[in-house]
Amino acid sequence: MAQKPGIPKGTRDFSPSEVAKRNYIFTIIKKHFETFGFQLIETPSFENSETLMGKYGDEGDRLIFKILNSGDYISKVDSATYESKDSNAISSQISEKALRYDLTVPFARYVVMHQNEIDFPFKRYQIQPVWRADRPQKGRFREFYQCDADVVGADSLLQEVEFVQLYDAVFTELGLKGVNIKLNNRKILAGIAEIIGAKDKLIDFTVALDKLDKIGEAGIKKEMLQKGISEEAIAKASPLFSLSGTNSEQLTVLKELLATSEDGSKGVEELRFIVDTIEMLGLQSAQLSIDVTLARGLNYYTGAIFEVGAPQGVKMGSIGGGGRYDDLTGIFGLKDVSGVGISFGLDRIYLVLEELNLFPEAIDRSLEVLCLNFGDREALAALKLVSTLRGAGVKADLYPSSVKINKQFKYANNRNVPYVILIGEQELSEDSFVVKDMISGTQETYNLKNPEAFLKEFESTN
RNA sequence: GUGGUUGUAGCUCAGCUGGUUAGAGUGCUUGAUUGUGGUUCAAGAGGUCGCCGGUUCGAACCCGGUCUUCCACCCCA
């Protein structure tokens, strides 16, 4: 019995035109990564569980795909654990490998393992799929690609500045105007928590604060109260809830608010440096804005936090994110190596470009010239011409069988082929070929002995 | 992981309160056109109504389960 074909939830097949569009994005990202001096590495699709577990918080652990051990794994579980029906306890005994959840933690592991062969500062980029056992939604998959660029071994804030420029360069070339690069600093969040006397509630406080634009001021106050943050503390923090104005104005307010916090003041200084430097250098199409409610990746970011939002009017979560993590390699035993990096969410960028119709028209032009097949003798001459065209780098093909011309034309039309070449009995006897421009509908005759004439014409219009 | 939502022709979707033979547009095939596509006209093919079970004389429609889609949480690219 034939089984019904299907693919797992949250995964996708990519057909030719989708792959072409995805490659278009990859190529642009890659190009800019390389012009910024990043080197490509790859890491395994799965890691030892202990490398991944505990690095993304409890929530993250839940979303890690675990790989079952080989062999008769269940017999090796001790009876007490087996009887306990405790999923976590059992899974640690029947699974010791897991699919990669992001590219940053494997990179940290890589740096520690290869520390003796790396020249620091090390700028690497990596474009590979990652897996999350999440419940899918629009722009949210269980298998998706991340495009990461990170620098390790450089404390300078100039790195942060560079990453803002990198975001700007990529999105500008993609034609995605007006992306908003949001910038925050973990030290500012820590400083605020310190000032309001809720240092121990930093995570709860920032997670709530992060939802400001979603549930509003009243909503986050309520959530903070529920998490055990005092009303007094919330009142102290309230200037943040309505923080507005230019980056510079916001920094002035923050500086005052955080004057008595060493951490907080440092964060303000760092932000000011980045903002001022970018101001002097200028951006092509993106805008950089401070957003104190930004609180992503708190489990490891220690300094700058980046997030890129889709342009206004596009309903999509963030299309990129990143930040500085001073001690990520620390957990693998390498102290005092600072890292900072950003990530592009390829799959989401794809959806945004698609929605805004920003892919170049000719992107899925997989064939530029199609020779029609009029029969054995004609096809032979056509194949000779096709070889010449291919030699000149033209994507050319000969229709494989001499079916009705009508059908062959229809095929060319569906494949979006801009030029169709006809070599029939008459052309063959005259040693010529006819080129039909499928867009204008006009036809022109060339000599078979001089295909360069057509090539010249072709080059000039493409 | 929690709550909801969706699934009917290759694709986009109609389908009344449960009632005979499940429709449209588009695409496909054939012909008008045996050497000219994208427009037009005519004819034709194409369906386990997601899957499994239940209720009923009778189920695309009601009920349960399951898978899938999308949405809100959680979290995140």
**Each residue's pLDDT tens digit, A281-301:** 999 999 999 999 888 766 778
Give chain A's radius of gyration (CA, Å): 29
pLDDT at A2: 58
Domains present along chain A, CATH in parentheses? 16-64+101-355 (3.30.930.10), 369-461 (3.40.50.800)
So what's the ipTM on this one? 0.86
Phi/psi for A15 (5° steps) reads -85, 165
User: What is the spatial distance, in angstroms and rounded to an integer, between the CA atom of A303 and the C1' atom of B18?
Assistant: 64
pLDDT at A235 over 90: no
- B chain positions with any atom within 7 Å of a protein CB: 1-3, 28-31, 33-38, 48, 50, 67-77
Count CA within 13 A, CB hemisphere, residue A328: 31
pLDDT at A213: 82
- Asked if residues A436 and A419 have their Cβ atoms less than 8 Å apart, the reply is yes
Mean pLDDT of chain A: 91
Q: Which of A44-48, A82-86, A457-461 has the highest mean pLDDT?
A: A44-48
Residue A389, amino acid: L
- Asked if residues A394 and A452 have their Cβ atoms less than 8 Å apart, the reply is no
First to last CA, chain A: 51
Residues 274-313 of chain A within 7 A of strand B, judged by CB, are 296-299, 307-308
Give the pLDDT mean for A166-195. Answer: 93
Structure tokens at A131: 């897996």
Query: Other C-beta atoms within 10 Å of A239: how many?
Result: 13
Q: Which of A5-19, A27-41, A322-336 has the highest mean pLDDT?
A: A27-41
Phi/psi for A256 (5° steps) reads -65, -50
Residue-wise pLDDT for A333-390, tens only, equals 999 899 999 999 999 999 899 888 889 888 878 899 999 999 999 999 999 999 999 9
Specify the range with the lowest mean pLDDT, choosing from A130-139, A184-193, A203-212, A450-459: A203-212
DSSP type of residue A339: E
User: What is the spatial distance, in angstroms and rounded to an integer, between the CA atom of A9 and the C1' atom of B7?
Assistant: 14
The residue lying closest to nucleotide B69, measuring its CA against C1', is: A137
- Strand (E) positions, A391-439? 396-398, 419-422, 432-437
User: What is the spatial distance, in angstroms and rounded to an integer, between the CA atom of A13 and the C1' atom of B31?
Assistant: 37
Rounded CA separation A186/A188 (Å): 5
Q: What is the pTM of this model?
A: 0.90
pLDDT at A307 over 90: yes
Residue-wise pLDDT for A218-230, tens only, equals 888 888 888 888 8
β partners of residue A328: none
Strand B closer than 7 A to residue A175 Cβ: no
Residues 185-214 of chain A within 7 A of strand B, judged by CB, are 207, 211, 214
Contacts of A182 (CB under 8 A, 6+ apart): A289, A290, A291, A294, A306, A307, A308, A309
Structure tokens at A211: 């939802």
DSSP string, A278-335: HHHH--SS-EEEE-TT----TTT--SEEEEEEPPTT-----SEEEEEETTGGGGGT--
Strand B closer than 7 A to residue A236 Cβ: no
Binding annotation of A: 102-104, 132, 146, 150, 296, 300-301
DSSP type of residue A153: S
Which nucleotide is the nearest neighbour of A137, by CA and C1'? Answer: B70
